[in-house]
Structure formats: structure tokens, C-alpha cells
Amino acid sequence: MLPKSGHVHLNADSQPAPIENDEARIVRETGVDARVAAIVEPVLNSAGYKLVRVRLSGMNGLTLQIMAERADGTMTVEDCETVSRMLSPLLDVEDPIDRAYHLEVSSPGIDRPLVRLSDFAKWRGHLAKIETSTMVEGRKRFRGKVVDLSGDAVTIEGDKATFGESLVATIPLDAIADARLILTDDLIRDALKADKAARLARGLETEDEDED
């Protein structure tokens, strides 16, 4: 959930509509994470949510983090609780993990992972970190501003400290292993603006207009 001042009230009709033919993710999981993603993604879509990422980590013993969002990019605390209640019994039945774990459902946050082509398009002009599974232009790690997109590649513009003599790098989408936004003042401003617009479009009422 994006940090906001003031209070938010949900209308009774705030239940998201099912998502059909969800856009395929560019960045996908492997191993146990992939098994969990295959189980939960169709259920999330049927309830009106998009899967962002699944990650099993050693935090607090063993934690299964499922990151999700509505089609409009919002994800409230109430949404996280709803998704957790929906997925917990499903995962108990399917039992994809052979050890005890803690389930954590979260929003993508402001410095979010970029997992779909539409994510790169929406946040064009902002800084991102990208790691690739294969060498691209002699390296596997990139940092720069998302400046262009095509059907099969993303172009980022960095600086000499990051790229040496090459200021621009074009990265094939199928080579991207991980990508996420870098937190900046501009990103915080634009993310909060987009979040507020999406909430108002859903009929949510915010009470922060009187605050600076």
C-alpha cells in the first residue's frame, strides 16, 4: 500500500472485477516459486488481482511473499488481507512447500518490481535497476532511466559512472531476470499522484486535501 496522509474510506462496491487474459509477465519465477505462482495466479485473476511476484525467503524462519495488485495498480491493506484469506487455504491443500512457512501478502510498493511490458511503459522516464540472465553489451547489471520500449526490448539511458562510454543500453526482454524502480523524489511524486487518481476512479474518498 502506498503511504498516504489522512484516511481512506472504501465504498461497498470496491470489489475488483475478474481479470481475463492477463498480460503475461516478462520476469517469472523458477523452482518452488514458480510452482506457487502457477497455483495462485489464476485464482488471483479470478478475484480481480494481478500477480506481481512470488518469493520464498529465509526471513522469520521461512516466508512466502506474494506480491499482488489490482488492475489499476492499487493495493490496500484490506486487499492484502482479502488475498491472504483467499490463498491460505488453497496453499494448504496444494501444499507446494514441504516445510512450515509464514505467508505474507503485500503490494508492490513505490520502488516496485517491473514484471510486465506495461510496467516499463507506465514508468517510462524513471530510474530502474535491471539484471539479466545472460550477458548484454558485455554486462549483466544495468541502472538508468527507461527511455524507450519495443515489442522485444527496453532501452535505458544511464551515465558514464554506470555504463562507461556507452550511455544507452538496449536490453532484450527475454534476457531480463530482475528489474525494479529506484526510489527518487520524482518517482514518489508520480506514484502518489497515480495512486490517488486510481483511488478516486474507484470511488474511494481521501481526507488529505486540507494537508500540505
Q: Can you give the pTM of this predicted structure?
A: 0.85
Q: What is the spatial distance between Cα 133 and Cα 47, in angstroms, rounded to a whole number?
A: 32
pLDDT of residue 112: 97
Q: What grid cell was written down for 139?
A: 554486462
Domains of the chain (ranges, CATH numbers): 8-20+27-106 (3.30.300.70), 117-181 (2.30.30.100)
Distance from the first to the final alpha carbon of the chain:
21
**HSE of 128, CA atoms in CB hemisphere, 13 A:** 30
pLDDT of residue 42 exceeding 80, the answer is: yes
Laid out side by side, the sheet with 102-106 consists of 49-57, 63-70, 102-106
Average pLDDT value over all residues in the chain: 87
Check residue 8 and give its pLDDT: 33
Would the pLDDT of 126 be above 50?
A: yes
Residue 208 has a pLDDT of 52
- pLDDT at 158 (0 to 100): 85
Please give the average per-residue pLDDT across 101-112, as a whole number. Answer: 96
pLDDT, residue 165, reads 59
Answer yes or no: is pLDDT of 2 > 60. Answer: no
Burial of 138 (0-12, 13-18, 19+ CB in 10 A): exposed
Phi, psi of 204, deg, nearest 5: -85, 145
At 15, is the pLDDT very low, low, confident or very high (cuts 50, 70, 90)? confident
Cβ neighbour number for residue 82 with a 10 Å cutoff = 17
